[in-house]
Amino acid sequence: MTRSNGNSVEVENLVKRFGDFTAVDRISFQTRTGEVFGFLGPNGSGKSTTIRILCGLLRPTSGRAIVAGYDVVQSPELIRRNIGYMSQKFSLYADLTVFENLRFYAGMYGVPAAELRGRIDWALEMAGLRGRESNLTGTLAGGWKQRLALGCAVLHRPPIVFLDEPTSGVDPLSRRLFWELIQRMSGDGVTIFVTTHYMDEAEYCNRLALMNGGKLIALGTPTELKLGSIQGWLLLLECDRLGEAIERLRRFDGVRDVAVFGNALHLVVSDAAAAPAIRAALEADAISVTSLQPIRPSLEDAFVALTTGRGANCPSELPS
Amino acid sequence: MSLRRLLAVSRKEVFQVLRDFRSLLIVLLMPLMLMTVLGYGINLDTRHIRVFAFDREGSPASQDLLKRFESSEYFDLVATVTDYRALAAALDDGRCQLAIVIPHDFSARLHDGRPVNVQALVDGSDANTAELAIGYAQGVLGAYGATVQADYLRKSNAPTVNPVLSVEVRTWFNEDLESKNFIVPGVAAIVMAVIGVLLTSLTIAREWERGTMEQLISTPVTALEIVIGKLLPYFALGMLDTAVCAAIAVWWFEVPFRGSLATLAVGSGIYLTAILGLGFWISVVTKNQLAASQIGLVATFLPSFLLSGFTFPIEQMPLGVQPFTYVIAARYYIVILKSVFLRGSGLGALAGPLIALVAYALIMVFLAKRSFHKSLA
C-alpha cells in the first residue's frame, strides 16, 4: 500500500459507469496538503459521483483513487477514519437534538472520551449553536443545519474533508460564514475537497477542477482558468437591439464568440484593436452602442468558454 | 467490533423511538388489541348450539329426552314449536342450528321395544359446527337410549348386564379441553411476529429514505455494529410486548401457566431475535419504508397464522406444504409456548424448537448483515 501523504487525494484514470451511462470518464488529478480544492461543474457532470467514490461509498468501475494514503477499493474502512464527509442532502437526524447528533457522530468516529466534551464544545462554538444544544435539529434554519453538519463531519479532526455542495439552499450570509470556516480549517492544514456550482464560491478555492459530462475539462487556480480559457480578448458590449447585434457580430470577421450576459454581450475577439471596427459596423446597422471595452474574464466566462468548447484554449478546434 | 459505536447506535435509536410517540403507542397498544381481538375471535369450541324442538307427542318420555338436550352444555333449547313450518323458518333465518323432531308414537314404540327414529335437521352452512352438532346430538340420544334399555331390562327382571369394556378418559395438560388454552399462546406468537417485524422493518429503510444513511455509512461504523446496535432497543421493546401478551394470557384469558418464567423469557428472547432479524433483513433489502412494512406484514401474519401449526396441525397439511412450515419461526415458538404454559416444560424438554430458533435468529442476523452494504447504489 502506498501511504504517500495523509492529506492528499490522488486520482488516476478514474471511471464510473452506471449501465450505459458514464458518470465519471477517466479523470486524473492530485490535491495538495491544506488546499481548498474546488470541483466545479453543472448538475450531472459527475462531481457528486467522484466525491462518493473518494469517500468509499461507491466503487469505481476502473482507475485508481488514493485518499489519505489508502486505496478506495482496498481499504474504504481506513479511509473513513481519516475523512469527514458532508453529503449534498442534509443528512443529520432531524428528530435528535443538536447535542445528540454531535454526540452520536463523536461516537461513530470514535472520538476519545477525554476529548469528547471539548470537541462537542468546539463544534457548537464553530456552528454558532451554543445555547441551542437541546433544540431538535429539524427545527434549525438552513445555515445552522449546514454548520452543524460540518461540525459533525469534522469532530474527529480528519485531515481531509469532503463537502458535496455544502451551501446549496442556504442564505448568502450563512454561505459567507461557512466559507470562512472552510478557510480557517484549510489554514490549519486540512485539505478541503468541495463541490459547488456557485461561481462566486469557486473564487474562494485554491485550485479548481472543472467537470463537464463526466470529464475533467480544466484544472488550475481560478486565475489560471480565467486567463487560460479565453484566447484573445474579452469585450463587454452594451448596446440596444441585442438580437440584431448578435446576428451582425456572428458574421463579423475576428469575433470568435458572442454570449449574452445580463443586458450586455460578452465578445471574444482575437485582437482588442478590432473594437473600433466593431463599433463602426454596429452603428452602420443603426445599432447604438453605449459602451464597448475590454474586461477581465470572470470564472463564469471561463466556465462557459470551457464547457461549450468555444474560445477554449484548445487550439486545434479554433481558427487561428 | 467496537462496543462504544454499537452502544452509540443503540442510544440514538432509543432517543428516536422515545421521540416518536405515536409509533411507541402503537407498539404498546397493538399487543393488547390483537390479543383481545384474536383471543376472543378464535374459538374452536362449539357450545350452546341453538336448538328448536317439535315434539309431536308431548309425553313424559319425549319431555325427558328434550330435558337431556336442555341440560347439555353443548345445546341451548331455544324454543319448542308445534309445526314443521316454524321449524324450517327457524333454520332458515338462523334462529337455530339444530332442529329435533320427536315422532307422535315416541313413547309407544319405546314401550313396545320397537326402533324409534328421532329426526334431526342440521344447518350445514357451517360444516364444522354441523358435524359437531350431529355428533353431540347422537351422544345425547345414545345416552338416552342406553337408559331406556336399562330400564326395560330391569322391568323385565332380566339380570343386569354391565358393559364389558368402558374407557376411562383423562385429559392431561388441558383438562377441560378448552380451545382458548392452546389458542391464546398461539395468538401471542402471531402478535409478537407481527409487532417484531414491524418494529425493525422501518428502521433501516427510514435511514435510506431520509438520507441519513449516506452520512452514517461514511463513518467508520461497521455493518454489524449498526445491525446489533439497532436491534438492542427493539429487543427491549419486544420483550416488554411479550410480557404484556403473557400477562393478558394468564390474567385475562386465564390460561394456566405451569412452566417457569425463565424458560418463557429464554424462548421468547430467541424467538424475538429471529423475528427482529427478519424485519431487519426486509428493511435492508427494500430500503423503502412502505414496501418494508407491507412485506413484513405479509411475511409474518398469514404464514404464522396458517403454516405454524396454529390453525391446522402441520402433520395434516399436504406433503408439499409441510416443508414451508420449517421457515416459519412461529412454528417453533408455538410449541415452546404451549409446552411452557400447559405442560410446564423446562428448557431441556424444549431443546429441539429452541435450537431451531437459535439457528433461525443467527441466519436472519447474518442475512441482514450480509445484505447491508456500506455503499450506495
Tens-digit pLDDT profile for chain B (377 aa)? Answer: 889 999 999 999 999 999 988 888 888 888 888 888 888 877 666 778 899 999 988 888 889 889 988 888 888 888 888 888 988 899 998 889 899 999 999 888 888 878 888 999 998 888 878 888 888 888 888 888 888 877 777 777 766 666 666 677 777 777 766 777 888 888 889 989 988 898 888 888 899 999 899 999 999 998 889 989 999 999 999 999 999 999 999 999 888 899 999 999 999 999 999 999 999 999 989 988 899 989 998 988 888 888 888 878 888 888 888 888 899 999 999 999 989 998 888 888 899 999 999 999 999 989 988 888 767 65
Is B117 within a domain?
yes
Is B72 within a domain?
yes
Residues B355 and B310 both lie in one domain? yes
A44 versus B373: which is more confidently predicted?
Answer: A44
B21 neighbourhood in chain A, CB within 8 Å: none
Nearest to B36 by CA among B250, B252, B246: B252
Q: Do A109 and B215 touch (CB under 8 A)?
A: no
Distance CA B267, CA A220 (A): 66
Q: Do B211 and A89 touch (CB under 8 A)?
A: yes
Where in chain A do CATH 3.30.70.100 domains reside? 226-317
pLDDT at residue A311 above 50? no
Distance CA A32, CA A6 (A): 10
End-to-end Cα spacing for chain A: 47
Residues B27 and B66 both lie in one domain? no
How would you classify residue A169: left for phi > 0, otherwise alpha for psi between -120 and 50, otherwise beta? Answer: left
Q: Do B220 and A18 touch (CB under 8 A)?
A: no
Residues B317 and B362 both lie in one domain? yes
Is B71 within a domain?
yes
- What per-residue confidence (pLDDT) applies to A5? 59
Nearest to B275 by CA among B194, B370, B184: B194
B12 vs A58, A85, A104: nearest CB: A104
Nearest to A268 by CA among A244, A239, A236, A224: A236
**Shortest Cα distance, chain A CAs vs residue B282, angstroms:** 22
Kindly indicate the confidence band of residue A318, based on its pLDDT and cuts at 50, 70 and 90. very low
Range A84-108 average pLDDT? 93
Q: Do A107 and B8 touch (CB under 8 A)?
A: yes
A108 neighbourhood in chain B, CB within 8 Å: 5, 8, 216, 219-221
- By CB neighbour count within 10 A (0-12 exposed, 13-18 middle, 19+ buried), where does A45 fall? buried
CATH code for the structural domain at A226-317: 3.30.70.100
Distance CA B372, CA B364 (A): 12
Tally the domains of chain B: 2
Is B29 within a domain?
yes
Strand segments, DSSP code E, in chain B are 49-55, 75-81, 98-102, 119-122
Interface of A with B in 15-44 (CB under 8 A): 18
Range A22-43 average pLDDT? 91
Contact assessment for residue B2 and residue B155, using Cβ atoms and an 8 Å cutoff: no
Distance CA A52, CA A165 (A): 12
Q: Do B5 and A107 touch (CB under 8 A)?
A: yes
Nearest to A292 by CA among A252, B163, B208: A252
Q: Do B211 and A55 touch (CB under 8 A)?
A: no
Where in chain A do CATH 3.40.50.300 domains reside? 9-220
Q: Do A110 and B212 touch (CB under 8 A)?
A: no
Interface of A with B in 69-108 (CB under 8 A): 76-77, 80-81, 83, 85-87, 89-96, 100, 103-105, 107-108
Cα B74 from chain centre: 22
Residues B65 and B115 both lie in one domain? yes
Is B172 within a domain?
no
Residues B53 and B129 both lie in one domain? yes
Residues B35 and B64 both lie in one domain? no
- What per-residue confidence (pLDDT) applies to B282? 92
Distance CA A99, CA A77 (A): 26
Nearest to A256 by CA among A312, A302, A316: A312
CATH code for the structural domain at A9-220: 3.40.50.300
One-character DSSP codes across B155-224: HTTPPP---S--------SSTT--THHHHHHHHHHHHHHHHHHHHHHHHHHHHHHHTHHHHHTTSS--HH
- What per-residue confidence (pLDDT) applies to A314? 34
Interface of A with B in 143-172 (CB under 8 A): 149, 152-153
Q: Do B212 and A91 touch (CB under 8 A)?
A: yes
A85 neighbourhood in chain B, CB within 8 Å: 215, 218
- Give the three-class secondary structure for A303: helix
- By CB neighbour count within 10 A (0-12 exposed, 13-18 middle, 19+ buried), where does A52 fall? buried
Kindly indicate the confidence band of residue A171, based on its pLDDT and cuts at 50, 70 and 90. confident
Q: Do A108 and B15 touch (CB under 8 A)?
A: no
Range A43-57 average pLDDT? 91
Contact assessment for residue A14 and residue A63, using Cβ atoms and an 8 Å cutoff: yes
Kindly indicate the confidence band of residue A316, based on its pLDDT and cuts at 50, 70 and 90. very low
CATH classification of the domain holding B117? 3.40.1710.10
Element containing residue A257 per DSSP (H, E)? strand A255-261
Residues B202 and B326 both lie in one domain? yes
- What per-residue confidence (pLDDT) applies to A3? 44
Across the A:B interface, residue pairs with CB atoms under 8 Å apart total 82
Give the whole-number percent of chain A exceeding pLDDT 70: 93
B222 neighbourhood in chain A, CB within 8 Å: 77
**Shortest Cα distance, chain B CAs vs residue A77, angstroms:** 6
Is B290 within a domain?
yes
Residues B65 and B145 both lie in one domain? yes
Radius of gyration of chain B (CA): 29
Distance CA B305, CA B41 (A): 13
Residues B366 and B272 both lie in one domain? yes
Strands A255-261 and A289-294: unpaired
Is B167 within a domain?
no
**Shortest Cα distance, chain A CAs vs residue B284, angstroms:** 16
pLDDT tens sequence across A17-28:
999 999 999 999
- Give the three-class secondary structure for A207: strand
Residues B86 and B28 both lie in one domain? no
pLDDT tens sequence across A124-159:
998 889 999 999 999 998 889 999 999 999 999 999
Is B14 within a domain?
yes
Range of the domain at B95: 49-155
Element containing residue B263 per DSSP (H, E)? helix B261-286
